[in-house]
Amino acid sequence: MSHGFAGSYARQPDMITNTAPLGGTAAIVFGTPLVRGENGAVVPLGAGNTGNQFIGVAGLEVKSPAEFYSQNVGRYAPGEPVSVFQRGCINVKCQKGAPAVDGTVYVRVTASEGYPAGGFEAEADGADTVVIPNAQWNGPADNHGVAELRIAYVGPVPSASGSAGEDGGYYQPSVSEDGELTWKASKGGMPAVAGVNIRGPAGADGANGTDGAPGVAAGFGTPTATVDSATGTPSVTVTASGPDTAKVFAFEFHNLKGAQGPAGPSYTLPNATTSARGGVLQMAAITDLTAAPTMEDFNSLLAALCTAGMLATS
C-alpha cells in the first residue's frame, strides 16, 4: 500500500511537533530534513551540516493557496511558520537506496550523480552523505519512493569529545666525526628515521713537487629542531657549516605533542596554632643583657615570641 505524501505523520500518539519560523530565503518542501538556523529559525539540512545537527522533518500542513497556479505545491515559503516533526513516525521521500526496518538513515549534503543535496537516502555515499543518529527506517518504500521514518528522540545529538592521544615521543639527533647524522627514538615502536652523511667535500690536492695547500674544512651539519606550539608537529633541518652552506637537509615527522597533564594542587601555608604546625616568622633580635633580667625584660621576650607566631597570645 502507498505510504501517502512526504511530510505526513504515519502513526499516533507518540509524536512531537513544534512550530518554528523559516530562516533564509529558500522555500522548504514538505518532508525536508531540518537543522536549527539563527534565533530559533529552521533551515534545510545540506552542505556544511552534520547528522548530529538534525532536529526534525518539515511536516505536511493543509494550507490555503496564495495564488491560483500554485495550489499543489507542498512547501513553506519564507516568512511562514514551519511545522517541525521531531519525534515519532513520519513519511518521507527516499531518493536513493532501499529502506529496511531498523535501517540506517542518511541525508545527502553534496549533490552528485543526479541526486540533489538535502534528500533522505538509505545507503552511504562517502563524504557526500551524513548519518542521522537519532532516526531509523521503519520499513520499505512504496512505488512512489515514500517510506516511513522513525525519529527516536528530539533535538540534535551532542558531539562526544575524544580521549587524549598517547605521547608520540621524539627523536634525538647526533652527528659522528665522519659526518653521519643519525636519530635516536625516545620510545619503542617509533618508526626508524634513515641517517644521512652531511660531511662536506675534501680539499684539493697540492701541486706536484711542493706541499699542497691545506684542504678547505669540510665543516659539519648543525641540526635545528622546532615544534609547532599549536599543532605539536615537529620539523628538523640540518645546515652545513662548511663552504657549502646552501646544503640543507629537511626531515618530516608525525605529530609528537602529547596531552597536557592536569594542574597540580595548590597549597597555602597555614599559621601555626597550639594544635597544628604552620609557618612562623623569624623573631627579631634581642640585645644581650648586661645585668640580671627583670620582669620587663622577660615580658619583652614573651611579646617577641608572640609576634613571631611561636607562642600563642592567649
Q: Are strands 75-76 and 81-93 parallel, antiparallel or unpaired?
A: unpaired
Whole-angstrom distance, CA of residue 201 vs CA of residue 219: 9
Quick one: cell of 206? 697540492
How many other CB atoms sit within 10 Å of the CB of residue 244? 14
282 pLDDT more than 90: no
Whole-angstrom distance, CA of residue 236 vs CA of residue 178: 20
Q: Is 159 exposed, middle or buried, given 0-12, 13-18 or 19+ CB atoms closer than 10 A? A: exposed
Residue 84 contacts by C-beta under 8 Å, 6 or more apart in sequence? 17, 18, 19, 20, 34, 42, 55, 56, 57, 58, 59
pLDDT band with cut points at 50, 70 and 90 for residue 267:
confident
Point out which residues pair with 104 in neighbouring strands: 136
pTM of the model: 0.48
What phi, psi does 55 have (nearest 5°)? -120, -10
Q: How many DSSP H helices and E strands does the chain contain?
A: 1, 17
Q: What confidence score (pLDDT) does residue 33 get?
A: 94
At 154-206, the pLDDT tens digits run 666 666 555 666 777 888 899 898 888 898 988 888 888 888 888 878 778 76
How many other CB atoms sit within 10 Å of the CB of residue 281? 10
| Of 128, 127, 126, nearest in space to 118 by CA | 128
Burial 229-243 (b: 16+ CB within 10 A, else e): eeeeebebebebebe
User: DSSP class of residue 68?
Assistant: G
Average pLDDT on 112-134 reads 94
Ranking 15-29, 103-117, 202-216 by mean pLDDT, the lowest is 202-216
Q: What confidence score (pLDDT) does residue 221 get?
A: 66
Q: What confidence score (pLDDT) does residue 70 get?
A: 54
Helix intervals (H) in the chain: 295-308
Domains in the chain, please, with CATH?
16-151 (2.40.300), 168-186+218-254 (no CATH), 282-314 (no CATH)
> What is the identity of the amino acid at 250?
A
**Left if phi > 0, otherwise alpha if psi is -120 to 50, otherwise beta: which for 43?**
beta
Whole-angstrom distance, CA of residue 127 vs CA of residue 9: 30
Determine the straight-line distance between the first and last CA of the chain, rounded to whole angstroms. Answer: 94
How many other CB atoms sit within 10 Å of the CB of residue 274? 7
More confident residue, 287 or 64: 287
Average pLDDT on 276-289 reads 84
213 pLDDT more than 90: no
Q: Is 62 exposed, middle or buried, given 0-12, 13-18 or 19+ CB atoms closer than 10 A? A: exposed
Average pLDDT on 275-283 reads 84
> What is the identity of the amino acid at 135?
A
